[in-house]
């Protein structure tokens, strides 16, 4: 074990030499002695703890590290793991996959994102790839101790312009609900508007989740389209319950006749899971026929805030309804252009 000073003309470098677990020498060169001492100490610590450290760490490529990393990072859903693998193979591996892991720098991360921009990929897709790189390199630093710093710097994170989601006003909500009365998909549309449920929560809702006497709806599970399976918790892993508005309660009571408690509330005629593609097409057609803005399934959830705030709900009330842990997430569902504030200003009176 040694740190050698290497001086060539006007440059000075410090080489760390340490024998690894396989008996071969591990060699790394640093620009400062402090970095060399820190690296030597970390390797000694790993060897003392019985961890494997060899000279091959200097030769491992990003593709090889990704395979090792992916085998240990399997805590996400199967659908997301598949998307993660596809993103790596499509956007990262062709650019820097063959590079040695220890040679990758911040400008290499920038090169990956720049190529995606040149290909016309959306800012959101670029951000997903950047987050994947940051997580990989973060684990290479913390868990694997292959790197000393994360080359995916926060300053390189692609900016995503915030777009206000398409949603319906209170009058448009009334027109849409009146138009879909007694039509197919009336129940899932009403659940999206009145309760602000996500599409997966609507697909997974069962009659046993509704207490008609107490007028309570329990959000207990969700349906994941990518995996085509149910999960015993909604997004955010937090179950929550809310009072059902009377108009929705009447609709559900009528639909619940001759239904078993384990049956799905919004299902096909055969009792299978509601098909998202058919529902989206029907919703688009209904919006056109009703003469309102065309919204997607998630647009109904965004419209819920218009309905509840028009009847006196606050931001905290909406946070509880949506099941959000962070109020900043709820703020994205509130589309207030100041009309309510102007209405309040018109009636403020302090003098008799």
Question: What's the confidence (pLDDT) of residue 24?
Answer: 60
- Banded model confidence at residue 281, pLDDT cuts 50, 70, 90: very high
In the predicted structure, residue 250 carries a pLDDT above the cut 70: yes
Residue carrying the six token digits 């199967």: 78
What are the pLDDT digits (tens) for 175-223? 999 999 999 999 999 999 999 999 999 999 999 999 999 999 999 999 9
Tell me if domain 60-156 and domain 170-341 are identical in fold.
no
The predicted model gives 9-18 an average pLDDT of 78
Look at residues 214, 208, 210 and name the one whose alpha carbon lies nearest to residue 190.
210
Distance CA 332, CA 115 (A): 30
What are the pLDDT digits (tens) for 282-313? 999 999 999 999 999 999 999 999 899 888 88
Contact 14, 5 (CB under 8 A): yes
Question: What's the confidence (pLDDT) of residue 113?
Answer: 95
Question: What's the confidence (pLDDT) of residue 29?
Answer: 77
Cα dihedral sign, 344-347-351-352: negative
Higher-pLDDT residue of 78 and 52 is: 78
DSSP state of 267: B
Instruction: Name the superfamily (CATH) of residues 170-341.
Output: Intergrase catalytic core (1.10.443.10)
Distance CA 297, CA 70 (A): 33
- Banded model confidence at residue 58, pLDDT cuts 50, 70, 90: low
Look at residues 256, 234, 298, 238 and name the one whose alpha carbon lies nearest to residue 267.
256
Question: What's the confidence (pLDDT) of residue 43?
Answer: 72
Contact 93, 67 (CB under 8 A): no
Residue carrying the six token digits 């970095």: 35
Distance CA 239, CA 217 (A): 11
Question: What's the confidence (pLDDT) of residue 331?
Answer: 83
What are the structural domain ranges in the chain?
A: 2-57, 60-156, 170-341
What are the pLDDT digits (tens) for 61-104? 899 899 889 888 877 777 788 889 999 999 999 999 999 898 89
Look at residues 138, 135, 139 and name the one whose alpha carbon lies nearest to residue 150.
138
- Banded model confidence at residue 269, pLDDT cuts 50, 70, 90: confident
Question: What's the confidence (pLDDT) of residue 345?
Answer: 77
Contact 137, 130 (CB under 8 A): no
Question: What's the confidence (pLDDT) of residue 145?
Answer: 76
In the predicted structure, residue 51 carries a pLDDT above the cut 60: no
Residues 6+ apart with CB under 8 A from 200: 222, 223, 224, 225, 234, 235
Higher-pLDDT residue of 292 and 329 is: 292
In the predicted structure, residue 21 carries a pLDDT above the cut 60: no
Entry pTM: 0.69
**Domain 60-156, CATH class in plain words:** mainly alpha
């Amino acid at each position: 074990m040694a740190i050698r000073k290497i001086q060539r003309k006007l440059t000075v470098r410090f080489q760390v030499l340490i024998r690894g677990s396989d008996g071969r020498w591990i060699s790394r060169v640093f620009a400062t002695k402090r970095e060399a001492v820190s690296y030597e100490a970390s390797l000694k610590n790993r060897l003392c703890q019985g961890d494997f450290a060899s000279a091959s760490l200097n030769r491992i490529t990003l593709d090889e590290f990704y395979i090792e990393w992916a085998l240990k990072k399997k805590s996400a859903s199967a659908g997301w793991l598949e998307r993660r693998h596809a993103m790596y193979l499509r956007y990262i591996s062709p650019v820097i996959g063959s590079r040695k892991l220890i040679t990758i720098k911040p400008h290499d991360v920038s090169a990956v994102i720049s190529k995606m921009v040149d290909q016309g990929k959306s800012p959101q897709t670029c951000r997903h790839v950047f987050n994947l790189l940051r997580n990989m390199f973060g684990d290479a630093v913390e868990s694997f101790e292959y790197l000393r710093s994360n080359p995916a710097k926060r300053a390189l994170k692609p900016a995503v312009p915030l777009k206000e989601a398409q949603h319906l006003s209170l009058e448009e909500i009334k027109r849409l609900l009146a138009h879909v009365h007694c039509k197919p998909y009336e129940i899932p549309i009403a659940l999206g508007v009145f309760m602000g449920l996500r599409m997966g929560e609507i697909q997974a809702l069962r009659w046993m989740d509704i207490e008609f006497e107490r007028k309570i709806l329990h959000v207990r599970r969700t349906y994941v389209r990518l995996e085509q399976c149910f999960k015993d918790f909604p997004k955010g892993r937090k179950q929550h319950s809310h009072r059902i508005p009377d108009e929705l309660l009447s609709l559900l009571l009528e639909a619940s006749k001759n239904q078993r408690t384990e049956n799905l509330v919004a299902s096909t005629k055969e009792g299978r899971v509601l098909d998202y593609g058919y529902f989206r097409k029907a919703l688009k057609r209904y919006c056109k026929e009703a003469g309102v803005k065309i919204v997607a399934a998630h647009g109904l959830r965004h419209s819920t805030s218009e309905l509840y705030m028009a009847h006196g709900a606050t931001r905290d009330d909406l946070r509880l309804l949506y099941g959000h842990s962070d109020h900043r997430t709820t703020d994205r569902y509130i589309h207030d252009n100041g009309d309510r504030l102007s209405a309040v200003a018109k009636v403020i009176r302090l003098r008799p």
